[in-house]
Amino acid sequence: MRETIRRLLKERNAILLAHNYQPPEIQDVADLCGDSLELSIKASQTDADVIVFCGVHFMAETAFILSPEKIVLLPNPNAGCPMADMVNPEALKKRLAELPPMPVVTYVNSPAAVKALSTVCCTSANVVRVAESMDADEMLMVPDRNLAQYAASKTDKKIHLWEGYCPFHDRLTPEDIRRARAAHPDAVFMAHPECRPEALGLADVVASTSGMIRYASESPEKSFIVGTEVGLLYPLKKANPDKEFFPASEQMLCTDMKKITLGDIVRSLEQMTGEVRVPEEIRKPALKAVERMIQMK
Ligand code: 13P
Ligand code: SF4
């Protein structure tokens, strides 16, 4: 199926982007694997006619926001993000009416209509930089309360929280970490900022998914406990075959990130199904927030 996919990509002048949590066979056939920030930047720069996005819905939406002249395909339309579903424009407007005027910093893991109401977007790779760049002492950060608390711990800004979270990162407990450390006493513990503050407090390194791959590659250390979705173990091992990686918890498995299959990609490319679009009245204001983030780098 790999050859079929590569042939169809060529015929359609298409590029295949895959998130670092995607199944191994999808990462292996992709043109580029990366974290949310890297994939957004690539989506804004490619000259392909079609972007096949192997990730979840908000990622394909962001690609379309940046490249509306392209066809963006999400090979399985059911691949969503439960955290992104924890915020919507009506609830955000209601909350904003209760607060004094302040910027809204929105994690890319959110619906386009929420990005459209935001000052700027951020990802796990740049959240601290984005918060610091705001010309205000206070801001509202949506939807991830754990990411927001992490950013607050790294800046002097006052960050108002939203009650959203990733169900898979939020379930990592200090007890899981103690168990993993006991089993691998020499390992470095890396954690994703979507984990709870009590888990991040025990981490040696806090980074985005690609940040973890870079850290492990550059570090002289030989073994690592990985506090993020278990799909990251594959690219970590691929980039560092001489090093060892252990999941902080086997329970950190995002079912939505595993929904796309090679068969879905073939079907989507053959029949041009799974197209993701955003209405222009939402795309334009959302683009401002996403572009402001990308220009910041
Ligand atoms: P990254 O941007 O770090 O790759 O994370 C995306 C994500 O969905 C984490 O749950
Ligand atoms: Fe959403 Fe969490 Fe899955 Fe990332 S790992 S896509 S935040 S549910």
Task: Note the pLDDT of residue 37.
Answer: 82
Query: What is the CATH classification number for the domain harbouring 193?
Result: 3.40.50.10800
Are 248 and 263 found together in one domain?
no
Same domain for 69 and 32, yes or no, is yes
Helices (H) and strands (E) in the chain, counts: 14, 12
Q: Give pLDDT, residue 43.
A: 84
- Are 180 and 231 within one domain? yes
Q: Compute the distance between CA of residue 24 and CA of residue 9 in angstroms, rounded to an integer.
A: 19
Asked if residue 110 has its Cβ within 6 Å of ligand 1, the reply is no
User: What is the residue with the minimal CA distance to atom 8 of ligand 1?
Assistant: 109
289 is a domain residue = no
| Per-residue model confidence (pLDDT) at position 296 | 83
Same domain, 113 and 181: no
Q: Is residue 290 part of a domain?
A: no
Pocket test for ligand 2, best of 123, 257, 259, 260 (most atoms within 8 A of CB): 257
Same domain, 135 and 123: yes
Asked if 179 and 237 sit in the same domain, the reply is: yes
- Residue 93 included in any domain: yes
The CB of 82 under 6 Å from ligand 2? The reply is yes
Assigned domain for 151 exists? yes
Final residue of a domain: which of 112, 138, 160?
160
Please, which residues bridge with residue 223 across strands?
Answer: 244
Does residue 143 have a cis bond before it (omega within 30 degrees)? yes
CB atoms within 10 A of CB 223: 14
Average pLDDT by stretches of 10, the chain with 297 residues: 97 97 98 90 90 97 95 97 98 98 97 98 96 96 98 97 98 98 98 98 97 97 98 98 98 98 98 98 98 87
For residue 128, the enclosing domain spans 84-160
Nearest CA residue ID for atom 2, ligand 2: 166
In this structure, which residue's CA is closest to atom 6 in ligand 1? 36
Does residue 283 lie in a domain region?
no
* DSSP 8-state secondary structure symbol assigned to residue 277: -
Q: Is the CB of 144 under 6 A from ligand 1?
A: no
88 and 55, same domain (yes or no): no
State in Å: Cα 209 to ligand 1 middle: 6
Q: How far apart are CA 154 and CA 167, in angstroms?
A: 23
Q: Which amino acid is it at 143? A: P
| CA nearest neighbour of 6 among 231, 284, 269 | 269
ipTM: 0.97
169 in a structural domain: no
Residue 282 maps to a domain: no
Residue among 110, 100, 99 nearest 289 (CA): 110
For the chain, report the end-to-end CA distance as a whole number of angstroms: 36
The reported pLDDT for the residue numbered 205 is 97
Residue 148: predicted pLDDT: 98
Cβ of 63 below 6 Å from ligand 2:
no
Kindly report the protein residue whose alpha carbon is nearest to atom 4 of ligand 1: 35
Domain edge (last residue) among 131, 160, 189: 160
Q: Is 69 in the same domain as 102?
A: no
Residue 33 and residue 103 in one domain:
no
Q: Quickly list DSSP for 115-172.
A: HTT-SEEE-TTTHHHHHHHSSSSEEEEESBHHHHHHHHHHSSSEEE--SB--TTTTT-
- Predicted pLDDT at 297: 62
Within this chain, do residues 62 and 101 fall inside the same structural domain, yes or no?
no
Residue labelled with tokens 């962001």:
62
Last residue of a domain, one of 130, 160, 190: 160
Question: Does residue 99 belong to any structural domain of this protein?
Answer: yes
- Our answer on whether the CB atom of 256 is closer than 6 Å to any ligand 2 atom is yes
Residue 176 CB–ligand 1 contact under 6 Å? no
Write down the pLDDT at residue 264: 98
Nearest CA to ligand 2 atom 7: 166
Q: What is the pLDDT of residue 41?
A: 87
The count of domains in the chain is: 3
Find tokens 């006493």 and name the residue: 185
